[in-house]
Structure formats: structure tokens, C-alpha cells
Amino acid sequence: MAWTELVGALLSAWGVWLTARRRPWCWPVGLLAVSAYAWVFVGAKLYSDALLQAAFGALIVYGWVRWLRHLDTDGRVQIARLPARQAAFHLLAGVVGALALGYAMHRWTDAALPWLDAALTAFSLVAQWWQGRRHTAAWWLWIAVDVLYVGEYLYKDLLVTALLYAGFVVLAAIGLRDWRRAGRSHAADVPSAG
């Protein structure tokens, strides 16, 4: 199982790096990563985490299809603006999902951190949705979620995983910087309507 976990971690880091670089290969690499982690979580009898990997898998397929329709001439995905109303609606859906999942985990399981884990799960799904829709705001959300994951994993003495998520924070900061640049560059290339 340790090899599968290591492979999953390496694939995850590679997938995030490719995403930061706006390369569509991030999606098949991500699909391999969530498949590896699903196997790890089933083996560890962490069935909710395994189901989360399945949800990520579905969002990865969705993002891959969307990205392939919106590539620049250099093969990198074009950045899309996230309207404030959509962002607010998606964040509200994250709050509702976090509360519902947190309640279920608190009420019916022996989860160690049911509310925090539920919130991180819900907002990870929002961030993944935004990533598939090519929104720079996904990186802000990933940074926030990953910082909290680092704390959660340190608290649970999962030091290797905490280190991995600290690396994700760095990769998300790089992705934010690069996607903001690309978004500004794209906006400068688009002729004004006036």
C-alpha cells in the first residue's frame, strides 16, 4: 500500500504542477492520481475519502473536456472570468455541503474532525469545479483549503501528507501567479467593445 500512496502523491503533485502551467495533461495525470488514492483509501477502509476520489474523478473528466475546447494556440488553456454572482452561489453551495456533510459525519460516524473535514471536502469540490471552468479564483480557494489541510494533517500526525499539502500551497501560489498573468495577457489581447 505504501507504494500506491507514494505513486498517488507524486502523480498528484505532477498534476497540480501541470494545472498551474495550464497544460491539459493535468487531467489524465489527475485521474491516475485519484485512482491511486481511491485504492489507498479503500485499503485503509476510509470509504468516504474513496468516494471523494470518485467525485474528483467525475470533475476531472468534466474539466478535461472543457479545457480541450478552450485552448490557446500554444496548447495552454484560456482563463475564464468568474462572475461575482456565480462565485457567491458556488461558495454558498460549499457552505451548505459542508454543513450537511459535517452533520452526517458528526451524527453517524466516529470521524475525528467531522466539521473541519466536511468543510475542506466541500470547498475542495468547489475549487475543483472552478478549476475545470478555468477560473483563477480556484487557486485562491485551493490555497485556503490546502493551508487548513496542512494544519489538519499535522494535528492528526500525518506528517508526510502535511508536507505534500504544504507543497500544494506552493504550487497553488505559482498557479495563481501564472494564471493571473495569463488572464491579464488575454484581456489585453481582446479588443475593447468601445
Contact yes or no for 11/29 (Cβ under 8 A) = yes
pLDDT band at 185 (very low <50, low <70, confident <90, very high): confident
Query: Do the domain assignments include residue 22?
Result: yes
Query: Do the domain assignments include residue 114?
Result: yes
How far apart, in Å, are the Cα atoms of 36 and each of 11, 39, 85, 90, 189? 9, 5, 36, 28, 40
Query: Do the domain assignments include residue 192?
Result: no
Q: How far apart are CA 29 and CA 34, in angstroms?
A: 9
pLDDT at 125: 95
Q: How far apart are CA 139 and CA 43, in angstroms?
A: 31
pLDDT band at 188 (very low <50, low <70, confident <90, very high): low
pLDDT tens digit string along 19-69?
999 999 999 999 999 999 888 888 777 677 788 899 999 999 999 999 999
Query: Do the domain assignments include residue 79?
Result: no
Query: Do the domain assignments include residue 194?
Result: no
Burial per residue of 154-167, b for 16 or more beta-carbon CB atoms within 10 angstroms, e otherwise: eeeeeeebbebbbb
pLDDT at 187: 64
**Using alpha carbons only, what angle is made at residue 69 by residues 63 and 73, rounded to the nearest 5 degrees?**
120
Query: Do the domain assignments include residue 66?
Result: yes
pLDDT at 190: 52
* Domain range for 56: 2-74+84-186
Domain count, the chain: 1
Query: Do the domain assignments include residue 33?
Result: yes
pLDDT at 114: 87
pLDDT at 192 over 70: no
Query: Do the domain assignments include residue 14?
Result: yes
